[in-house]
């Protein structure tokens, strides 16, 4: 076999190998297009993805006769005679029109739109849950209920059925003192909002026979709150309340529409069945799955601190009269909040953030300075004399103090801000850093808020013995302060010439090296 023949054989093998690779790529692309895609939450879309999506949807461009949707996308009208292909086409076109409207609002009005859910399949899960539910339960975080509330979703539910009602389930209410719950109860009653205070963590612990340890102020408020509006509901009480509200809605609908035909988007299942359906919706990571597990009495849905654990809505039969329906967490578009506020609130995943200082700055602005120092046992730099003395610490100051106390150092020798930011944000979301938001218009709200946060942080710091990242040889509280005072006095005396003068010690000059050698 000659040299040229070997070269031809090598080229043939390389060519055959490249053809096999190309065939495998084509086959994988074919199966990817044929098979169903995995339902995954999408909150960020790059320029390339937007161009590809625009090219794929070029046949469904915006036309003048399409209605302009609101900030929340509405499900297009449908009926039982529609085919699956026709319904899918209408939903895709409506979703594309809604996306174009939001894009034009950002370009024309120069508005900053927060990241929101861009996966049509997850919006379909929300539409199906809202359509079949008699009572819609919106789960929110008790520390900032208005941030997690979506009024557009409430309006959309009323558009589908005028008899539908939305109940605000204020989860994690065990983290609030009594006076904070009382002010929120007055605010909700004033605005005609149906609400219930609830704690999925406390209910789950009660099912397991465990007792949670709360700070003294919160524990006393749990015992003193005899009002039905301010008390935290238990498992049986919440189930009875949900069933009563849903049955009232169903009876009202039957009495008013007994002789009327069903509209296309009306809840047909709630009218024909004897049982009532309660749907749970809301932002990711607010405790919907934990609430479902606590109400069912066993783990039926996956629970994790990462947003977007639930992928598909599921129906849970509690009894012959009550059915629960859990919807995946959905990020609604908003013009009021920012990306960093959504990361700090747990709506967007912490592990995907790239700008750490901005998200931690949100925590530093909301939690008082002395609360941060008490919880983490650190000392933050004080403001300069020319700066406002009540200013919040900057993220850089927070990082330096926290990383120095924990020993977080990156490979470059600088403080490991990435690791510190993740731990700080997780503590903020889990409630280790106490923070509360009060309704607007409350007098002396900020002063009471800081006092309550300080009291809660001190007692939570005493109860929480699981902080293994604290420095092992920590000094007493009086030690550093006394040492700082003595250092300040010494520096003052030295500056004014009052300090003890040290007599300089004269060292003997070293002998020359050539004199150390002796002649033999």
Give the C-alpha separation, 288 to 426, whole Å: 18
pTM: 0.70
pLDDT greater than 70 at residue 220: no
Quick one: which H or E segment has residue 440? none
Instruction: Count Cα neighbours of 156 within 13 Å in the Cβ-side half-sphere.
Output: 24
Phi, psi of 40 (to 5 degrees): -135, 135
34-60 pLDDT, tens digit each: 554 556 666 666 656 665 666 555 545
Sheet holding 276-282, edge to edge: 232-233, 194-198, 165-171, 135-141, 276-282, 322-326, 314-317
3-class state of residue 217 by DSSP:
helix
Structural domains in the chain plus CATH codes: 49-111 (no CATH), 115-215+224-255+274-336 (3.40.50.300), 339-441 (1.10.1580.10)
Give the pairing of strands 276-282 and 135-141.
parallel
* Cβ partners under 8 Å of residue 353, min gap 6: 343, 359, 421
Give the C-alpha separation, 18 to 203, whole Å: 60
* Highest mean pLDDT out of 2-11, 63-72, 298-307, 377-386: 377-386
CA angle 414, 418, 421 (to 5 degrees): 115
Any bridge partners for residue 135, and if so which? 165, 278
Buried b (16+ CB within 10 A) or exposed e, 115-137: bbbbbbbbbbbbbebbbbbbbbb
How confident is the model at residue 232, as a pLDDT? 93
Buried b (16+ CB within 10 A) or exposed e, 180-214: bbbbbbebbeeeebebbbbbbbbbbeeeeeeeeeb
255-267 pLDDT, tens digit each: 886 655 554 444 4
Nearest CA to 316 out of 334, 297, 335, 333 is that of 297
Give the pairing of strands 314-317 and 276-282.
unpaired
Q: Are 45 and 53 in contact (CB under 8 A)?
A: yes
Tell me which residue has tokens 């909002």: 193
* Highest mean pLDDT out of 232-241, 284-293, 332-341, 486-495: 232-241
Burial of 274 (0-12, 13-18, 19+ CB in 10 A): exposed
Nearest CA to 249 out of 230, 282, 275 is that of 275
Q: Are 434 and 450 in contact (CB under 8 A)?
A: no
Give the C-alpha separation, 76 to 400, whole Å: 53
How confident is the model at residue 141, as a pLDDT? 93
What would the mean pLDDT of 302-328 be, rounded to a whole number? 75
Handedness of CA 407, 412, 417, 420 (dihedral sign): negative
* Pair of tokens at residue 488: 């300040």
How confident is the model at residue 192, as a pLDDT? 92
* SS3 labels along 18-66: HHHHHHHHHHHHHHHHHCCCCCCCCCCCCHHHHHHHHHHCHHHCCCCCC
24-36 pLDDT, tens digit each: 777 666 656 655 4
122-154 pLDDT, tens digit each: 898 899 999 999 999 999 999 999 999 999 899
Give the C-alpha separation, 393 to 375, whole Å: 15
Give the C-alpha separation, 435 to 298, whole Å: 30
């Amino acid at each position: 076999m000659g040299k040229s023949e070997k070269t031809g054989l090598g080229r043939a093998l390389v060519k055959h190998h490249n053809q096999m690779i190309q065939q495998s790529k084509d086959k994988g692309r074919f199966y990817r297009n044929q098979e169903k895609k995995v339902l995954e939450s999408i909150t960020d879309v790059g320029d390339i993805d937007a161009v590809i999506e625009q090219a794929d949807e070029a046949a469904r461009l915006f036309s003048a006769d399409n209605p302009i949707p609101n900030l929340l996308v509405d499900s297009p009208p449908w009926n039982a005679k529609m085919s699956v292909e026709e319904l899918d086409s209408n939903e895709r076109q409506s979703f594309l029109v809604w996306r174009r409207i939001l894009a034009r609002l950002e370009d024309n009005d120069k508005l900053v739109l927060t990241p929101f859910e861009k996966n049509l399949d997850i919006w379909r899960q929300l539409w199906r849950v809202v359509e079949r539910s008699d009572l819609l339960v919106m789960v929110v975080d008790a520390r900032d209920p208005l941030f997690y509330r979506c009024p557009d979703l409430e309006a959309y539910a009323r558009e589908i059925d005028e008899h539908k009602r939305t109940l605000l389930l204020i989860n994690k209410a065990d983290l609030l003192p009594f006076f904070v719950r009382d002010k929120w109860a007055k605010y909700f009653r004033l605005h005609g909002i149906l609400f219930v205070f609830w704690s999925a963590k406390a209910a789950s612990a009660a099912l397991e026979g465990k007792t949670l340890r709360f700070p003294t102020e919160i524990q006393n408020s749990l015992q003193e709150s005899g009002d039905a509006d301010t008390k935290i509901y238990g498992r049986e009480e919440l189930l009875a309340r949900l069933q009563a509200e849903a049955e009232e809605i169903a009876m009202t609908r039957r009495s008013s529409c007994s002789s009327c035909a069903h509209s296309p988007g009306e809840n047909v299942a709630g009218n024909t069945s004897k049982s009532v359906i309660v749907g749970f919706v809301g932002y990711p990571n607010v405790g919907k799955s934990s609430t479902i597990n606590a109400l069912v009495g066993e783990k039926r849905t996956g629970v994790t601190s990462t947003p977007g654990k639930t992928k598909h809505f599921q129906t849970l039969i509690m009894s012959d009269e009550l059915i629960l329906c859990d919807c995946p967490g959905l990020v609604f578009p908003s013009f009021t909040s920012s990306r960093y506020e959504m990361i700090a609130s747990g709506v967007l995943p912490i592990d995907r953030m790239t700008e750490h200082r901005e998200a931690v700055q949100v925590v530093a602005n909301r939690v008082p300075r002395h609360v941060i120092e008490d919880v983490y046992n650190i000392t933050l730099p004080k403001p300069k004399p020319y700066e406002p003395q009540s200013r919040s610490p900057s993220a850089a100051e927070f990082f330096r103090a926290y990383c120095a106390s924990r020993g977080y150092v990156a490979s470059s020798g600088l403080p490991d801000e990435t690791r510190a930011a993740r731990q700080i944000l997780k503590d903020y979301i889990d409630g280790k850093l106490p923070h509360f938001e009060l309704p607007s218009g409350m007098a002396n709200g900020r002063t009471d808020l800081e006092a309550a946060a300080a009291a809660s942080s001190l007692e939570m710091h005493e109860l929480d013995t699981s902080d293994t990242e604290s420095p092992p040889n920590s000094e007493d509280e009086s030690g550093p302060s006394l040492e700082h005072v003595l250092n300040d006095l010494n520096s003052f005396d030295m500056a004014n010439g009052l300090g003890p003068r040290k007599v300089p010690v004269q060292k003997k000059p070293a002998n020359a090296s050539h004199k150390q050698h002796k002649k033999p």
